[in-house]
Amino acid sequence: MKKKILSIFMACLLCLGLTACGNSSSDSESIQGKVSLNGSTSMEKFVNALSEAIKEEYPDLQLEAQFTGSSAGLEALASGSADIGDSSRALTDEEKEKGLVENIVAIDGIAMITHKSNTVKNLTTEQLTKIYTGEIKNWKELGGQDQAIVVIGRESGSGTRGAFEELLKIEDQCQYAQELNETGAVLAKVAKTEGAIGYVSLDVVDDTVTALKLNDVEASEKTIKDGSYQLQRPFVMATKGEISKQKGNVRAIFNFIESDAGQEVIKKVGLISAK
Amino acid sequence: MENRFLSIVSNHKTKSIVEKTAAIIFRGCAIMSIVAVVSITGYMLISGTPALFKEGFIDILFKTTWAPTASDPQYGILLIILTSIVGVILAILIGVPIGLLTAIHLAEMANKHVRKILKSAIELLAGIPSVVYGLLGILIVNPMMYKLELLIYKGDTSHQFTGGANLLSAIIVLAIMILPTLINISETALKSVPDDLRKSSLALGASQIQTIFKVVLPAAKNGIMSAIVLGVGRAIGEAMAILLVAGNAVTFPFPFHSVRFLTTAIVSEMGYASGVHREVLFTIGLVLFVFIMIINLVLTFILKKGDCHD
C-alpha cells in the first residue's frame, strides 16, 4: 500500500516538473520591468484585459495600473509619476501644450436600442436627453404610436452608464424604470418589452432590437470612426512626447495594441478599434 | 486476523481509542459550524460598519436618495429597506393562505393518491433553482403585469411605466417560492396534532371543517408560526429571482413601481463598486444579516413557547 501511494506521489511530482518546463523560452526577453499607468476608471476593464493579454507576449512586462480618473491620470503623466495617462476623453489644448500626446487606442460606442415594433427610428440628442430625464414619457410625443416609454439603463458604477450620462451631460438626473446589471439583460428586456428604450455597447446590438439613428446618423463602426455619430468617446493612452521617443517597454505596449492579439483584446471588451 | 471483531470484552484498549477518536471527530465537526457562524458575524461587522461611521448612521439608514456614483455621493438605503419589508409582508400575505390550506388538505383531507401527486409536486417546487423562477417571472409574470399596468395607468402622464418589472411581479414570484417551506412545515405541524383531539371533536358533533379550524389549527399554532417565520426568512434572503423581475430602480415600494430589494442592491452593484460605495454595499449586507438574526430569534422564541405548553 505504502509503495503505491509513493509511486502516485512521484508521478504527480513528475507531471508538475513537466508543466514547469512548458513555457520558458521567449524571443522578447529584452522587454521587461514595470510600466505605470494612471487614469480613467472607465478604462479599467480594457486596461486589465490588456495587462493580462500582454503577459503572453512579454512575460516579464508588468503593467501597474491605477484608476483615479482621466484628468488625474493626465496630470500624473505630466508630472512624470506615470508612464502612460489613460483618458476616456480627448485631450484639451492645455494638456497638449504640456507635451502630452494623444494616442487613441480604441473607441467606446454606445447604441440606442428600442423594441422591434417601435415606429420611431430617429431621435435628436435633445429628445434622448428628455426621455432619460423623464420629461418625455410617451412615444407619441416623438411622432410614434401612443405608447408609454419604458426607460431601461444600467446600474450605477457601470462604464456604459457612466459614458452615456457623461456624453449627454445628464449625470445623476436619469429616471430609470429598470436598472439592469448586464448588457445582455438590457438587450433581452428591450427586445421583449414594447415601448422600451435602452443603451448598450455597439458591438452587442443584434436583430432582436432596432438600433436608433441619432440626429439622422446611423450607429455603426464607420460613423463612429468618422466622428459623425455622437454617442462615442475615445479611449486615449497618452504619453509625454511621441511614442517613438518612449522607453522600450512603453513602445512594446503600443506595438502590442497594434498587433492582432491587441486588437482582439479591444474587441473582447466591446470597444471599436481606432485603426 | 484475530482482531476482526471489536469486542468490548476482549479488547478494552481498542474500544476506548475508537471511542475517543470518534468523539474528537464529532466535536471537530460541531466546532466547525460554530467557527463559521462566528467568523461570518465578525466579518460582516468589520466590513459593514466602517461606512456607517464614515457617512453617519442617519445618512445611510434613514435617507432616501441612493446616488452612489454622483459627484456628491448619497447612500440613503431607507427605500431599499422599506421595499424588502413591504415586499416580504405582501408575499407572506399571499403565500400563507395558499400554503396553509394546501397543508390542511394534505394532512386532513386528501386520499392516498392525491397526496402522493401533491407531495411530489411540492417537492419539485422546492427543488427548482431560484434563477429559474426569475426566468419564468420574466417570461410570464412581467408581460402580464405590463398589460395590467397599461390598463390601470391608461392616459396617466405622471406615471413612469416599468414594462412589468415592478414590486407586484416580485411579490408574486416570492409568494410562489415560499410555498414549499410553508406547506411542508405546516403539514408536519398538523400531522403531529394527536388524533384523539380530532376524534373527540367529531364525536361531539363538530363537522370536519369545524374540527380543522377550531381544534386542529389552534393545536398546531406554534408549528404554523415557525413555518411562517421560516417563509419570511426565505423571502427576505432571496436575490436571484427578484433581481430579474423587480426592475431595480430605487423608488418607493408601490405595487407598480420598479423597486430594489436589500439583496438585489448588493448583487446588482457589487461588480463595479469601489471605495465607500463598496463599503455601503457591505452595510446593506449587515442590515440583511440583522434582519435574519431577528427572524431566527423570533423563531427560537416561538419554539420555546411551544415547549412550555407541552
pLDDT tens digits, B224-260 = 999 999 999 999 999 999 998 998 899 999 999 999 9
Interface touch B67/A134, C-beta < 8 Å? no
Mean pLDDT of B182-207: 94
On the question of pLDDT at B269 being above 90, the answer is no
pLDDT score at B169: 94
- Look at A134 and B160 and tell me if their CB atoms are within 8 Å: yes
Backbone angles phi, psi at A105, to 5 degrees: -100, -30
CA distance A212 to chain B (A): 19
**What's the pLDDT band for B1 if we cut at 50, 70, 90?**
very low
Q: Is B70 an interface residue toward A (CB < 8 Å)?
A: yes
The predicted structure's pLDDT at residue B25: 94
Q: Chain B contacts of A176, Cβ < 8 Å?
A: 249, 258
For an interface test with B, which of A178, A183, A186, A269 has the most B Cβ atoms less than 10 Å from its Cβ?
Answer: A178
How far is it, in rounded angstroms, from Cα A32 to Cα A22? Answer: 20
For chain A, the domains span: 31-107+233-273, 109-232
Element (H, E) at A39: strand A33-39
User: Is the Cβ pair B249, A189 closer than 8 Å?
Assistant: no
Label residue B37 by pLDDT band (50, 70, 90).
very high
Question: Distance between CA B29 and CA B146 in Å, rounded?
Answer: 50
Residue A21 banded pLDDT, cuts 50, 70, 90:
very low
From CA B267, how far away is CA A181, in angstroms rounded? 9
Report chain B's C-alpha Rg in angstroms: 25
Closest partner residue to B249 (CB to CB) among A148, A158, A178 is: A178
Model pLDDT, residue B86: 95
Contacting residues of B for A189, CB less than 8 Å apart: 138, 163, 165
C-alpha cell of residue A77: 503623466
What's the grid cell of residue A268? 473582447
Task: Supply the mean pLDDT for chain A.
Answer: 85
Residues 6+ apart with CB under 8 A from B310: none
pLDDT exceeds 80 at position A207: yes
Residues in chain A: 275
Provide the pLDDT for residue B215: 93
Rounded Cα distance between A34 and B79, Å, is 46
Mean pLDDT of chain B: 89
Residue B190 contacts residue B220 (beta carbons within 8 Å) = yes
d(CA A249, CA A239): 13
pLDDT band for A7, please (50, 70, 90 cuts): low
Kindly identify which residue of chain A lies nearest to residue B272, measuring between CA atoms: A157
CB B171 within 8 A of CB B253: no
Q: What is the pLDDT of residues A43-98, one digit of tens each?
A: 888 898 998 999 888 888 888 888 888 888 888 899 888 999 998 888 888 888 88
Asked whether the beta carbons of residue B161 and residue A177 sit closer than 8 angstroms, the reply is yes
pLDDT per residue over B74-93, tens digit each? Answer: 999 999 999 999 999 999 99
For residue range B148-166, list pLDDT tens digits in order: 998 998 877 788 888 889 9
Q: In what helix (H) or strand (E) does residue A197 lie, and over which residues does it extend?
A: strand A196-201
Are residues A193 and B164, on separate chains, in Cβ contact within 8 Å? yes
Query: For residue B92, what pLDDT is reported?
Result: 95
> Residue range A243-263: average pLDDT?
89
pLDDT given for residue B24 in this prediction: 94
Kindly indicate the confidence band of residue A40, based on its pLDDT and cuts at 50, 70 and 90: confident
Are residues B165 and A189, on separate chains, in Cβ contact within 8 Å? yes
Return the DSSP state at A212.
P
R_g (Cα) of chain A, nearest Å: 23
Q: Which CATH architecture describes the domain A31-107+233-273?
A: 3-Layer(aba) Sandwich (3.40)
Minimal Cβ distance to A181: which of B164, B271, B277: B271
As given in the structure block, the three cell numbers for residue B174 are 416570492
Higher-confidence position of B87 and A20 = B87
B143 touches chain A (CB under 8 A): yes
pLDDT recorded at residue A39:
85
The Cα–Cα gap between A174 and B250 comes to 12
A137 contacts B272? CB cut-off 8 A: no
Alpha helices per DSSP H over chain B: 12-55, 57-61, 78-104, 112-127, 130-136, 142-152, 167-191, 195-203, 208-210, 217-219, 221-237, 240-245, 262-269, 276-309
Q: Which among A138, A157, A180 has CB closest to B248? A: A180
The answer to whether B278 contacts chain A (CB < 8 Å) is no
Q: Closest chain A residue to B246 measured between Cα atoms? A: A178
- A→B contacts (Cβ < 8 Å), by residue, are 41, 134, 137-138, 148-152, 155-159, 162, 171-172, 175-181, 185, 188-189, 192-196
Same fold, A31-107+233-273 and A109-232: yes
CB B242 within 8 A of CB B138: no
- Domain A109-232 top-level CATH class: alpha beta
Q: How far apart are CA B206 and CA B161, in angstroms?
A: 53
Contact A150 B243 (CB under 8 A): no
Cβ count near A268 (within 10 Å): 13
Q: What is the pLDDT of residue A24?
A: 38
Under an 8 A CB cutoff, do A156 and B269 touch? yes
Beta bridge partners of A109: A232
Burial class (CB in 10 A: 0-12, 13-18, 19+), A121: middle
Residue A2 has pLDDT above 90, yes or no: no
User: Do residues A196 and A132 lie in contact, with contact meaning Cβ atoms separated by under 8 Å?
Assistant: no
Asked whether the beta carbons of A206 and A191 are under 8 A apart, the reply is no
Task: Tell me the CA end-to-end span of chain B in Å, nearest whole number.
Answer: 53
CATH fold for domain B62-309:
MetI-like fold (1.10.3720)
Looking at the predicted complex, does its ipTM rise above 0.85?
no
Percent of chain B whose pLDDT exceeds 70: 95
**Predicted confidence band of residue A22 (pLDDT cuts 50, 70, 90):** very low
Q: How confident is the model at residue B307 (pLDDT cuts 50, 70, 90)?
A: low
Whether residue B181 is predicted with pLDDT greater than 80 in this model: the reply is yes
